[in-house]
Amino acid sequence: MTSPLKIGLMGYGFAGQTFHAPVIAHCAATALAAIATGQPERARADFPDAAIVPDLDALLALDDIECVVIATPNDTHFDLARRALERGKHVLVDKPVTLNAAEARTLAALASARGLVFAPFHNRRWDGDFLTVRTLLASGELGRVTHFESHFDRFRPQVRQRWREDAARGGGLLYDLGPHLVDQALALFGAPESVTAFVRTRRDDATAPDYVHLVLGYANHDAVLHASALAAFSPRFVINGTRGGYLKNGLDTQEDQLKAGLRPGEAGFGAGNEAGRLHVLLDAASGGSESERALPTVDGDYTGLYRALAASIHDGVPFPVSPQDAIDVMTVIELAMQSAAEGRTLPFVRAG
């Protein structure tokens, strides 16, 4: 049996504590070997078996670390990932992998030249609702998609004093939730033909964008991607096609479960997702009648990302989110910023 992938976690703030450390520690394919943090007491209390070190240099000095996971503020991702790759470590970087496409290309090229894995942390591909949507679209039950809408909205009217709300550090919803929305759309439909965007600051005292509305143009449909900090009511997915439609409300349950202390492998983890509604044409034998029913949402599985990471590093299996995917996501986000600033639709040109 292959030994677990030994991971060193760089950063133990919200992302490190919530999305990375507990999932790494409870995934059979990975082991949380070390944590680099300025909050050693909390990390040591949570994971007493992990080595606790003060910074990236100390983390890289640990010979048994195979992969470094970067879970730090957005504006530090590029430098930390570059240094880890230069020291011969595989790297997984939280979203956004960098603040622009050029930096993402640099990391991808560096990893390729050294035979290392450079993996984007787009964990929302393992959300239960996205897994359900992917299966539904692959089935063809909706016919040809004519409209796709994906929301990641919350109601958070108060601006908090933290780097995620600081535009100078890569804060704001375009960089925070935008990568998830864009990556899911590209995973379903491939690269778009065009990008149109509205990026706004709506809350009192906000300095970073808290309203993002993107339209990715495809040959036969648009993909509308929306994130807002002032949305008390919102769907998660709305999809229409030539044979029917699908509506899903409610976000995936795993984030709230992790915040509450539930861990992968424990009863109920990843479960409890709200069912969607499916409305479709029946076959010709039914006289062209229509049917509407609940479509259960499959359970989410964030450990799937880390199992895939271990398989990529230990067995050479391609990681499901490629470096090119990360570059494409950052290209769309750059185009979105330009589109919003100039008030026009821009063509998407892939940068590889």
CATH topology classification for 5-123+309-316:
Rossmann fold (3.40.50)
Instruction: Tell me which residues of the chain have a pLDDT lower than 50.
Output: none
- The pLDDT score that the predictor gives to residue 163 is 72
- In this structure, the number of other CB atoms found within 10 A of the CB of residue 88 comes to 11
- The pLDDT score that the predictor gives to residue 286 is 60
CA torsion 322-133-271-45 (nearest 10°) is: 20
- The pLDDT score that the predictor gives to residue 284 is 58
CA atoms within 13 A of residue 280's CA, in its CB half-sphere:
19
- The pLDDT score that the predictor gives to residue 169 is 79
Instruction: Answer yes or no: are the C-beta atoms of 89 and 19 closer than 8 Å.
Output: no
Is the CATH code 3.30.360.10 the one for domain 128-251+265-300+331-347?
yes
Instruction: Answer yes or no: are the C-beta atoms of 280 and 40 closer than 8 Å.
Output: no
Instruction: Answer yes or no: are the C-beta atoms of 217 and 191 closer than 8 Å.
Output: no
Instruction: Answer yes or no: are the C-beta atoms of 59 and 68 closer than 8 Å.
Output: yes
Q: Where are the domains of the chain?
A: 5-123+309-316, 128-251+265-300+331-347
pTM score of the predicted model? 0.95
CA distance 270 to 262: 10
Angle at 138 between CA 245 and CA 351, to 5 degrees: 105
- The pLDDT score that the predictor gives to residue 352 is 62
